Amino acid sequence: MGFWSFFFIIVFLGLTTQWYGTNKALKLNSNIKEGPKLPSLPSYYGTNAFLWLVISVLLFLIVWVFSKPHILDYILIQNIPKALIDEFGGTPNMLIDIIKATDISNIFPGTNPIIIENALYYNKIDKLSDSIAYSIILFVGLTVSIFSINKISFLFKARQAVEKTNINLLILCSTIAIIATIGIILSLIFEALRFFEKVNFFDFLFGFNWSPQTAIREGQVASDGAFGAIPIFSGTLLITFVAMFVAIPIGLFSAIYLAEYAKPSVRSTFKPILEILAGVPTVVYGFFAAITVGPFLKNFVGEFGFTIASESALAAGGVMGIMIIPFISSLSDDVIRAVPQNLRDGSYAMGATKSETVKKIILPAALPGIMGAVLLAISRAIGETMIVVMAAGIAANLTLNPFESVTTVTVQIVTLLVGDQEFDSAKTLAAFALGITLFFATLFLNIIALRIVQKYREKYD
Amino acid sequence: MTNNLDRVELSLVGRKRSERLFKFYGFLGILIAFLFLITILYSVISQGQKAFFTTFIKVNIFFDSEIIDPQNQRNDEDIRYANFNKIITESLKKKFPENLNKNDSKELSSFISSSEADYLSGFVVKNKDYIGKYKNMWLLASSKIDVIVKNPEMEDLDEEDRLISDKQLGWLNQIRLNKELKKELNKNFFTKADSTEPEQAGIWGSLVGSFLTLLITLVLSFPVAVAAGVFLEELAPKNKFTEFLEVNINNLAAVPSIIYGLLGLAIFLNIMHLPRSAPIVGGMVLALMTLPTIIIATRSSLKSVPPSIREAAIGLGATRFQSVVDHVLPLAIPGIMTGTIIGMSRALGESAPLLMIGMVAFIVDVPTTFLDSSTALPVQIYLWKSTAARGFVELTAAGVIVLLVFLILMNGLAVFIRQKFEKKW
């Protein structure tokens, strides 16, 4: 039985169950001439039977999808002659992968006949196991729907049962957020722990030398590589600093202008324009930084007799700053507008001008919120990937000069993981160590920012 | 008393000046942001529009029977594998009466795109009576020639920096004088996938890849996110568990996108053994990423439905669940749709997590299923940007234009839905 025939049988079965359950309940109701009828509407009885069927089938299907590869691998390895495994250099798993990858409709000439035989066998058990599993699932579904239809009686409160199931399904959907968080943390931690088996934790965190490219293969000269992440952290901070240097003044002044000075019509034109900046994909900013800003800065700085690297921190950070402007301006705008009007009125009554009110009253009152916005922006900047991948360098230089090329955490993660790699080497695992550092750094910044913003809100609401 | 008033009067000039200055700074901030936007758009469009057209060269092709079919058998297979490059080169040579040595003909043959030999062989197999005859044909120029034609300022560069030699430039000018050069819509760009040759590379493959990826994203994230939003906003009891859920969702929304890529690599690829570079994995990763966006949009649009709707439903005997599903949720649908489209447009522009799960491969075929290797639109832009050949610069910018057009369309749709269907209570 193929998947689609299985699918249509299940759909048909589901609709029948729903229809039959509803009809049975209707019939029961119509038999009653006086006295109380069924405790729930007839359609709920149908829906209840339907839900039972769908949930049990889905459950079994998921179990099958996840266990199928393991079961098939086990059966396949039993079938492969031991001689072939011994003859084959690598692990049995690699042999299995080769067998699975053999296309039986288009066999490459010169393939080992035993492998072809096994590929045919694999193909056969693949189809066979699927139809067996589908039949079992179908049988289970049928049993469940018969059982749930039999349950229809005056004692059974179908609506409560259906609502409870539905709410539980909703809860399940909500917990996916938790599952995702746990998945992120666990996957990062496990890989990072494997990395720290090979490289000392403190060497990683406080080392000054980063050259993972030497650690491509084991047994190479200097195959250990060097994994001191300080130059990467400093590079990330340098680019973030440049970005903030651009974004904070521009973003803050725009926010002040929009919130305090602009007429409603001006506000309603310029606010969307700022939001367009936020909607531009980061890959576009990366392109802009690499193709336009980089060469421009090179010429511009060259006029004054300085030299600047073509992948300078200034270009990447500056463009990242442009990306962050709308982030800071819209958050600060909200915060400034949330400052109560009576503070402004009080200040004007004392004879202060608008700018004096902004500088001496509003900004101090809004400061915690603005700090929160800046922290969120920083966390955004250190996690930003595409701009730096396209416009910043790969070599880890320990420098504070924005004219030089530096690298960032995200650039390193990308360069370490893109392309063919062996998955157990320290080089690829280092990406996960950097990833978990990045994750916790941004998490920390976000939590603090949210705390500050929340505390501030409580004061005025 | 007068003394004080005088002091105020005196200070007023300076204070007013600083007031004007402060206001000017604020306006400057907006202006600079606006200028940045214009600059970005200008730099993208000015480069990208060039890639929508491509250069063709008119060549009087002689379908030499000596080369195509020496035995005169008209056999399909033989004709297909004949040396059509030679035919092109020989026909090109006839444009220039002066004697050309072997090196010259090599330089000359690089005028025409390498794909045209295949095109000619297909043409001759279908029209066998052209063998031994002449036909005027417009052939696709190679990327080098195309770049020079589109950027006339490059002709003034030194020979080493110019992509083509002085001799080639001379020939090109002669062709131009004979009016045997034209610019036409670049069909390859809209119909093909990636290629090593800029003039043969197209955006279509990655567009299809993005479409397949987003389809998975939508199917996975929309139902789950709406369910989660409905539960958290309408039905959840206030307790530690739901509070924890909310904190989690807010944090997920702020996790850098590349971390999702690492999650996909570690779990979907290494543990679940799903295929690398496949839209299904990309879609799953992006679904996790868009989940918080749609949840937050669902919650805010549910929040904007007035409580009177719920109270009326409950007053008429509906249960809480019925009131939400039958009355509140339908009213919140426009807002949810808007949020979903915005989340999808963000997913369309996202590339960092896709790099992690291997959707950066060089892929020549247009993907057809969710398991095929493919790239996505923004990743294709990144790939072209990292390619050294000069012709890819314009393609990259053109890819950016296509991406921006799609984003504008999606966001426009979102705005349309918001204005047309969203009720103001």
The 10 Å Cβ neighbour count of residue B367 is 22
Residues 6+ apart with CB under 8 A from B107: B165, B167, B168
Return the pLDDT at A209: 84
Residue B47: what residue type? Answer: Q
For the ranges B90-99, B139-148, B257-266, the maximum mean pLDDT occurs at B257-266
Return the pLDDT at B175: 85
Domain identity same for A89 and A238: no
Paired sense of beta strands A226-227 and B134-140, if any:
unpaired
How close, in Å, is residue B385 to chain A by CA atoms? 7
Q: A7: left (phi > 0), else alpha (psi -120 to 50), else beta?
A: alpha
Q: Determine contact, residues A381/A324, Cβ cutoff 8 Å.
A: yes
Domain assignment of residue A118, yes or no: yes
Domain identity same for A145 and A234: no
Write out the two tokens for A12. 């048909």
Paired sense of beta strands B181-185 and B53-62, if any:
antiparallel
Residues 6+ apart with CB under 8 A from A160: A40
Domain assignment of residue A36, yes or no: yes
Tell whether B47 lies on the interface with A, counting CB pairs under 8 A.
yes
Phi/psi for B364 (5° steps) reads -90, -25
Tell whether A275 lies on the interface with B, counting CB pairs under 8 A.
no
Evaluated on CA atoms A299, A300, A304, A309, the torsion sign reads negative
How close, in Å, is residue B287 to chain A by CA atoms? 11
Contact A281 B403 (CB under 8 A): yes
The residue of chain A with its CA nearest to that of B24 is: A257
Contact B254 A188 (CB under 8 A): no
Contact A170 B227 (CB under 8 A): yes
> B141 - beta bridge partners?
B112
The residue of chain A with its CA nearest to that of B401 is: A284
Tell whether B19 lies on the interface with A, counting CB pairs under 8 A.
yes
ipTM of the complex in this document: 0.90
Domain assignment of residue A236, yes or no: yes
The residue of chain B with its CA nearest to that of A170 is: B227
Phi/psi for B59 (5° steps) reads -130, 135
Instruction: Indicate if the pLDDT at residue B199 is higher than 60.
Output: yes
SS3 A68: helix
SS3 B53: strand
Return the pLDDT at A214: 54
Q: Which residues of A touch B244 (CB under 8 A)?
A: 178
Contact A180 B288 (CB under 8 A): yes
Domain that residue A55 falls in: 3-156
Domain assignment of residue A347, yes or no: yes
Contact A178 B244 (CB under 8 A): yes
Q: Please choose, from the candidates B375, B424, B338, the residue with its C-alpha nearest in 3D space to the C-alpha of residue B205.
A: B375
Q: Determine contact, residues B19/A353, Cβ cutoff 8 Å.
A: yes
Instruction: Indicate if the pLDDT at residue B214 is higher than 80.
Output: yes
Which of A126, A156, A186 finishes a domain?
Answer: A156
Residues 6+ apart with CB under 8 A from B299: B229, B232, B233
Q: Where are the beta strands (DSSP E) in B108-168?
A: 134-140
The residue of chain A with its CA nearest to that of B378 is: A283
Write out the two tokens for A232. 């990467």
Interface of B with A in 392-421 (CB under 8 A): 393, 396-397, 400, 403-404, 407, 411
Summarize the confidence of residues B7-25 as an average pLDDT: 90
Instruction: Indicate if the pLDDT at residue B267 is higher than 80.
Output: yes
Q: Where are the beta strands (DSSP E) in A12-153?
A: none
Tell whether A359 lies on the interface with B, counting CB pairs under 8 A.
yes
How close, in Å, is residue A355 to chain B by CA atoms? 5
Domain identity same for A17 and A145: yes
Tell whether A363 lies on the interface with B, counting CB pairs under 8 A.
no
- Domain of A439, CATH number, reads 1.10.3720.10
Domain assignment of residue A172, yes or no: no
Q: B358: left (phi > 0), else alpha (psi -120 to 50), else beta?
A: left
Domain assignment of residue A90, yes or no: yes
Tell whether A16 lies on the interface with B, counting CB pairs under 8 A.
no
**CA B351, CA B372: separation in Å to the nearest integer?**
18
Return the pLDDT at A347: 93
Write out the two tokens for B114. 């390498």
Contact A187 B273 (CB under 8 A): no
Residues 6+ apart with CB under 8 A from B59: B88, B91, B92, B95, B112, B136, B137, B138, B139, B180
Tell whether A173 lies on the interface with B, counting CB pairs under 8 A.
yes
Sheet holding B53-62, edge to edge: B134-140, B53-62, B181-185
Q: pLDDT per residue over B56-81, tens digit each?
A: 988 888 888 778 777 777 777 777 78
> Which among A376, A439, A450 has the least Cβ separation from residue B255?
A439
Give me the long-range contacts of A427-431 (CB less than 8 A, separation at least 24): A427/A212, A427/A213, A427/A215, A427/A216, A427/A225, A429/A191, A429/A192, A429/A194, A429/A195, A429/A198, A430/A195, A430/A199, A430/A204, A430/A212, A430/A227, A431/B262
Interface of A with B in 202-241 (CB under 8 A): none
Return the pLDDT at B311: 94
Return the pLDDT at A215: 46
Contact A183 B47 (CB under 8 A): no
Q: Determine contact, residues A350/A272, Cβ cutoff 8 Å.
A: no
Q: pLDDT per residue over B367-390, tens digit each?
A: 888 888 899 999 999 999 888 788
Summarize the confidence of residues B38-55 as an average pLDDT: 90
**CA A79, CA A266: separation in Å to the nearest integer?**
76
Residues 6+ apart with CB under 8 A from B382: A283, A286, A386, A389, A390, B351, B355, B360
Tell whether A178 lies on the interface with B, counting CB pairs under 8 A.
yes
> Which among B249, B267, B411 has the least Cβ separation from residue A279?
B411
Tell whether A290 lies on the interface with B, counting CB pairs under 8 A.
yes
Q: Which residues of B touch A281 (CB under 8 A)?
A: 348-351, 378, 403, 407
Give me the long-range contacts of B123-128 (CB less than 8 A, separation at least 24): B124/B63, B124/B68, B124/B79, B124/B82, B124/B84, B125/B76, B125/B79, B125/B80, B128/B74, B128/B79
Write out the two tokens for A390. 């396209």
Residue of A51, A240, A288, A386 for testing the chain B interface, max B β-carbons within 10 Å: A386
- Give me the helices (H) in A199-258, please: 201-206, 230-256
Which of A156, A190, A208 finishes a domain?
Answer: A156
Domain identity same for A96 and A237: no
Paired sense of beta strands B134-140 and B181-185, if any:
unpaired
Q: Determine contact, residues A320/A243, Cβ cutoff 8 Å.
A: yes
Q: Please choose, from the candidates B91, B100, B92, the residue with its C-alpha nearest in 3D space to the C-alpha of residue B67.
A: B91
Least confident window among A55-69, B149-163, B297-311: B149-163
Return the pLDDT at B298: 94
Contact B259 A383 (CB under 8 A): yes
**CA A340, CA A365: separation in Å to the nearest integer?**
9
Domain identity same for A139 and A241: no
Phi/psi for B58 (5° steps) reads -85, 125
Instruction: Indicate if the pLDDT at residue B117 is higher than 50.
Output: yes
Q: Where are the beta strands (DSSP E) in B114-270?
A: 134-140, 181-185
From first to last of its 461 residues, chain A has per-residue pLDDT tens of 778 888 899 999 999 999 999 998 888 888 888 778 888 888 899 899 999 999 999 999 989 888 887 888 888 888 777 777 777 666 677 777 777 777 667 667 777 777 778 888 888 888 888 889 999 999 998 899 888 888 888 888 889 999 999 999 999 999 988 899 999 999 999 989 988 988 888 888 888 888 876 544 555 555 557 888 899 999 999 999 999 999 999 999 999 999 999 999 988 888 888 888 888 999 999 999 998 898 899 888 888 888 888 888 999 999 999 999 999 999 999 889 988 899 999 999 998 999 999 999 999 989 988 999 999 999 999 999 999 999 988 888 888 888 888 999 999 999 888 865 666 677 888 899 999 999 999 999 998 988 887 777 656 65
Instruction: Indicate if the pLDDT at residue B215 is higher than 50.
Output: yes
Domain assignment of residue A61, yes or no: yes
Interface of A with B in 77-106 (CB under 8 A): none
Interface of A with B in 398-427 (CB under 8 A): 410, 413-414, 417-418, 423
Q: How confident is the model at residue B282 (pLDDT cuts 50, 70, 90)?
A: very high
Which of A136, A156, A176 finishes a domain?
Answer: A156
Domain assignment of residue A206, yes or no: no
Higher pLDDT, B85 or A461: B85
Q: Which residues of B touch A280 (CB under 8 A)?
A: 40, 349, 404, 407
**CA B305, CA B316: separation in Å to the nearest integer?**
18
> Which among B40, B266, B345 has the least Cβ separation from residue A191?
B266
Least confident window among A447-461, B130-144, B352-366: A447-461
Query: How many domains in chain A?
Result: 2
Return the pLDDT at A217: 52
Q: Scanning the structure block, which residue is given the tokens 């029977």?
A: B65
